[in-house]
């Protein structure tokens, strides 16, 4: 039954929560299904827009130019899609390039651990978590294209000028040395729960 990940994660979060928040009744299976579908559609749309723009940047000036493009445009593109879809869209990871994409809190860390375990077992899953007055949708992001490795692959294989650009723009970069199909991050989409 699809509601199980929400209940399991809710129980996990309840055990580790140090603050009390207003409790809401469990969401219905229809709302769960609707928000899972909406989260999947929004994350797919956002990923497609980012990949399209990064692909154009790669064609225009190679991976070095794409790094500069991402530094300037990734957050504004994501923010504009958040406004269009009336939600908050983020990418989060345990190995960020941009510190703004770090795991933000205990919920993110727990979901990351759960997702990483599912990914290793070959069963990557998205999920929906109710937390306070928010419903949080999480979906795995993996290194899906060989072109991604031009900026996220082995530092020995990334072009030297791209490595220099990464070091200049992201001095604390942790987002290299990935392999194809490896878990790279999570889409995190925050929906506001309707007031009672």
DSSP string, 26-44: PPPHHHHHHHHHHHHHHHH
pLDDT the model gives residue 131? 87
pLDDT the model gives residue 194? 67
Mean pLDDT of 170-174: 96
Q: Would you say residue 62 lies in a domain? A: yes
Q: Would you say residue 10 lies in a domain? A: no
Query: Is the pLDDT at 50 greater than 80, yes or no?
Result: yes
* 113-136 confidence digits (pLDDT tens): 999 999 888 888 999 999 888 899
In the Cβ-directed half-sphere of 140, how many Cα atoms lie within 13 Å?
A: 21
Q: Would you say residue 20 lies in a domain? A: no
Average pLDDT, the chain: 88
Q: Would you say residue 87 lies in a domain? A: yes
Q: Would you say residue 126 lies in a domain? A: no
Neighbours of 104 (CB within 10 A): 12
More confident call, 193 vs 16: 193
Percent share of the chain, pLDDT over 70: 86
Q: Give residue 92's domain range.
A: 27-121+131-192
Query: Is the pLDDT at 88 greater than 70, yes or no?
Result: yes
Distance CA 126, CA 185 (A): 12
**What is the pTM for the complete model shown?**
0.85
Neighbours of 125 (CB within 10 A): 13
Q: Would you say residue 141 lies in a domain? A: yes
Query: Is the pLDDT at 2 greater than 80, yes or no?
Result: no
Q: Please, which residues bridge with residue 140 across strands?
A: 186
Distance CA 147, CA 159 (A): 12
Q: Would you say residue 185 lies in a domain? A: yes
Mean pLDDT of 4-22: 44
Do residues 51 and 152 lie in contact, with contact meaning Cβ atoms separated by under 8 Å? no
Report the run of H or E that residue 66 belongs to, with start and end: helix 29-85
Q: Would you say residue 19 lies in a domain? A: no
Mean pLDDT of 174-192: 96
pLDDT the model gives residue 105? 95
Split into its structural domains, the chain has a count of 1
Query: Is the pLDDT at 102 greater than 80, yes or no?
Result: yes
């Amino acid at each position: 039954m699809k509601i199980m990940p929400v209940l399991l994660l809710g129980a996990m979060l309840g055990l580790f929560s140090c603050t009390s928040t207003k409790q809401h009744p469990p969401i219905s299976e229809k709302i769960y299904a609707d928000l899972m579908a909406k989260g999947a559609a929004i994350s797919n749309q956002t990923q497609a827009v980012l990949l399209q723009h990064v692909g154009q940047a790669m064609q225009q000036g190679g991976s070095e130019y794409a790094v500069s493009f991402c530094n300037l445009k990734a957050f504004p593109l994501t923010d504009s899609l958040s406004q269009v879809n009336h939600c908050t869209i983020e990418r989060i990871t345990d190995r960020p390039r941009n510190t703004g994409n770090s795991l933000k809190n205990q919920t993110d860390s727990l979901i990351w651990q759960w997702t990483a375990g599912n990914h290793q077992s070959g069963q990557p899953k998205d999920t929906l978590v109710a937390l306070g007055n928010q419903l949080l949708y999480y979906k795995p992001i993996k290194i899906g294209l060989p072109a991604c490795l031009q900026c996220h692959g082995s530092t020995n294989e990334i072009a030297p000028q791209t490595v220099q650009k990464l070091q200049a723009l992201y001095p604390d970069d942790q987002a290299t040395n990935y392999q194809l199909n490896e878990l790279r991050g999570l889409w995190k989409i925050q929906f506001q729960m309707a007031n009672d």
